[in-house]
Amino acid sequence: MSTPSPKGQLTRDEVAHLAHLSRLAVSDEELDLFAGQLAAVLDAVAQVGKADVADVPPTTHAVPMTNVMRADVARPSLPRDVVLAGAPAAEDDRFRVPRILGEEA
């Protein structure tokens, strides 16, 4: 998937590819609908490209800090029953997920 072309050029195929990467089931009608809607979103965001930034240094991070680190100390984890209580399904003390198709672990 390459960077979507600007200006309403987002194709159905690109949306289908994004949907696949996001593991979303999108119908044919929705592909058309989303292609249009996403193109509008991209167009809106693309307006920042109009700003004249020739004299503005790139922002590397929203917070002007570096080297924020924590010491390597182990702390207690969550109790397992609490952890698995948030899982859609659990089995043998593990998270149970639907079978993974077409990919190798």
Partner 1 sequence: MSTDTLVEYGELLTRYEPVIGLETHVELGTASKMFCGCSTTFGAEPNTQTCPVCLGLPGSLPAANAAAIEATIRIGLALGCRIATWSRFARKNYFYPDIPKGFQTSQYDEPLCTAGHLDVEVEGETYRVEIERVHLEEDTGKNLHVGGSTGRIHGADHSLVDYNRAGIPLVEIVTRPIPGAGAKAPEVAKAYVTELREILLALGVSEVRMEQGNLRCDVNTSLAPIGSLEWGTRTETKNVNSLRSVERSVRFEMRRQAAVLDAAERVVQETRHFHEDTGSTSSGRSKEEATDYRYFPEPDLVPIAPDEAWVEELRAGLPELPAARRTRLSDEWGISPTEMAWLVNAGAVELVSDTVAAGASPGDARKWWLGELARRANDAGTDLTELAVTPAQVAELIGLISAGTINDQLARQALDGVLAGEGDPSAVVEARGLAVMGDSDELVAAVDAAIEGNPDVADKVRGGKVQAIGALVGAVMKTTRGKADAATVKRMLEERLISS
Positions touching partner 1 (CB under 8 A) are 1-3, 21-23, 60-63, 65-78, 80, 83-84, 86, 91-100, 102-105
How far is residue 19's CA from residue 31's CA, in Å, rounded to a whole number? 9
We find the least distance from the C-beta atom of residue 58 to partner 1, in angstroms, to be 11
Nearer to partner 1, 19 or 31 (CB): 19
Nearer to partner 1, 29 or 58 (CB): 58
We find the least distance from the C-beta atom of residue 63 to partner 1, in angstroms, to be 6
We find the least distance from the C-beta atom of residue 81 to partner 1, in angstroms, to be 10
Q: What is the torsion angle, in degrees rounded to the nearest 10, for the CA atoms of residue 57, residue 60, residue 65 and residue 67?
A: -130
Beta bridge partners of residue 91, listed in sequence order: 94
The DSSP string of 18-68 is HHHHTT----HHHHHHHHHHHHHHHHHHHGGGGS--TTPPPP--SS-----
Nearer to partner 1, 52 or 102 (CB): 102
